[in-house]
Structure 1
Amino acid sequence: MNVIGIIGAMPIEINHIKENINIIEEKEYAGFKFYIGKKENIKIVLTSCSIGKVNAASCTQILIDRFEVTHIINTGIAGSLNKDVKICDIVISDNVTHHDVRKEQMKRWFPFKEYFESDKFLIETAIKAYKKIDSNKFNYHVGRIVSGEAFISDCNLRDLIIKEHSPHCVEMEGSAIGHVACINNIPFLIIRSISDNADDNSTNYIDFEKIAANNSAILVLNILNILDES
Structure 2
Amino acid sequence: MDTVGIIGAMELEIKLLKEKMYIERKETIAGFNYYIGRIEEKNVIVTCCGVGKVNAASCTQALIDNFNVDCIVNTGIAGGLYSEVKICDVVISKDVTYHDVDKRQMKNCFPFKEYFEGNEKLIELAIKACKQYKHNNYKYHIGRIVSGESFISNSEMKKSIIEEYSPYCVEMEGAAIGHVSYINNIPFVVIRCISDNADDEANINYNDFEKISAEHSANIVFNMMKIID
State the secondary structure of the residue aligned to 1:200.
coil
Q: Distance in 1 between matches of 2:114 and 2:145?
A: 13
What does the per-residue CA deviation read over 1:64-97, in whole Å, with 9 as the maximum and x for residues that have no partner? Answer: 0000111000000000011100000000001000
Structure 1 residue 2: Cα displacement = 1.4
Corresponding residue number in structure 2 for 1:103? 103
Corresponding residue number in structure 1 for 2:128? 128
Corresponding residue number in structure 1 for 2:46? 46
Corresponding residue number in structure 2 for 1:78? 78
Corresponding residue number in structure 2 for 1:118? 118
Is the CA contact 2:153–2:202 (under 8 Å) kept in the aligned structure 1?
yes
Corresponding residue number in structure 2 for 1:224? 225
* Structure 1 residues without counterparts, runs of 5 or longer: none
TM superposition score normalised by structure 1: 0.97
TM superposition score normalised by structure 2: 0.97
Q: Distance in 2 between matches of 1:62 and 1:72?
A: 12
| Coordinate RMSD, CA, aligned | 1.1
What does the per-residue CA deviation read over 1:113-144, in whole Å, with 9 as the maximum and x for residues that have no partner? Answer: 00000000000000111111133531000000
What does the per-residue CA deviation read over 1:170-207, in whole Å, with 9 as the maximum and x for residues that have no partner? Answer: 00000000000000000000000000000111111010
State the secondary structure of the residue aligned to 2:142.
strand
Is the CA contact 2:193–2:216 (under 8 Å) kept in the aligned structure 1?
yes
Q: Distance in 2 between matches of 1:137 and 1:155?
A: 25
- Asked if residue 22 in structure 1 is aligned to residue 22 in structure 2, the reply is yes
Corresponding residue number in structure 1 for 2:34? 34
Is the CA contact 1:153–1:198 (under 8 Å) kept in the aligned structure 2?
yes
Corresponding residue number in structure 2 for 1:57? 57
State the secondary structure of the residue aligned to 1:191.
strand
* Structure 2 residues without counterparts, runs of 5 or longer: none
Is the CA contact 1:88–1:193 (under 8 Å) kept in the aligned structure 2?
yes
State the secondary structure of the residue aligned to 1:198.
coil
Q: Distance in 2 between matches of 1:155 and 1:134?
A: 32
Is the CA contact 1:143–1:167 (under 8 Å) kept in the aligned structure 2?
yes
Identity %: 58
Is the CA contact 1:151–1:172 (under 8 Å) kept in the aligned structure 2?
yes
Structure 1 residue 39: Cα displacement = 4.7
User: What letter corresponds to residue 216 of structure 1 in structure 2?
Assistant: S
- In the alignment of these two chains, the number of paired residues is 228
- Structure 2 vs 1, CA of residues 183 and 203 (structure 1 numbering), >3 Å: closer, same or farther? same
Q: Distance in 1 between matches of 2:211 and 2:40?
A: 29
